[in-house]
Amino acid sequence: MRWTLALVALTVVACRTRVQTERKDFDLYGGAGLSALPDIGGSVTAGQYISKRSPKFDYAFEMRVAYQGGDDSATQDGEFAQIQVGAKQVASPGHSKRLFFRYGFTWFRANGNPEIIDRSGDYFGVFGAVGYEWDLSDHWTFSPDVAVNMVDGEGSTGSELLPQLNLSFLFRF
């Protein structure tokens, strides 16, 4: 029985090592998707993996730019433009379906008369997100996530929380 367990453990380690050596250390990815809240619009994402050696987590530097044009909903004919810069932490690397976390800094500008935040203007703060991604092919990944931004704005009365939903299609180079 011990020899069987040792053989299985050795096989798992050998397979894991083979997968790690075939993967690039600095994979680039980019994509586009939908961004919702406070309105509905689009987003563009770019990232680069900076650590792909851990069996539990991969880490990437990521930047997302979102633009939501105004209609008669939450921003009342205003515009919402946002930049998020931070890290992406992917659990269970090497699997075709995996959980991920995003966190970092955010800036956005809200114009018009926004209802979901205190008032129009520039806001700066931090964000955190959790999502799930799965591979559609060797290069394409579908990635929905839910984010929360904690921000302070010009002339605001204090910190505010802004939830967001994102759906992205990412292409790994």
Check residue 40 and give its pLDDT.
87
Which CATH architecture best describes the domain 25-172?
Beta Barrel (2.40)
Lowest-confidence range among 11-20, 61-70, 113-122, 155-164? Answer: 11-20
**Chain segment 93-111, per-residue pLDDT in tens:** 888 999 999 999 999 998 8
Tell me whether residue 3 is exposed, middle or buried, using C-beta atoms within 10 angstroms of its C-beta: 0 to 12, 13 to 18, 19 or more.
exposed
Q: Structure pTM?
A: 0.79
Check residue 131 and give its pLDDT.
98
φ, ψ of residue 61 in degrees (nearest 5): -90, 130
User: Mean pLDDT, the chain, as a whole number?
Assistant: 81
Report angle CA 91, 104, 79 to the nearest 5 degrees: 120
Q: Taking 60 as the threshold, does the pLDDT of residue 43 lie above it?
A: yes
- Mean pLDDT for 72-95 is 81
Domain ranges of the chain: 25-172
pLDDT grade for 136, boundaries at 50, 70 and 90? very high
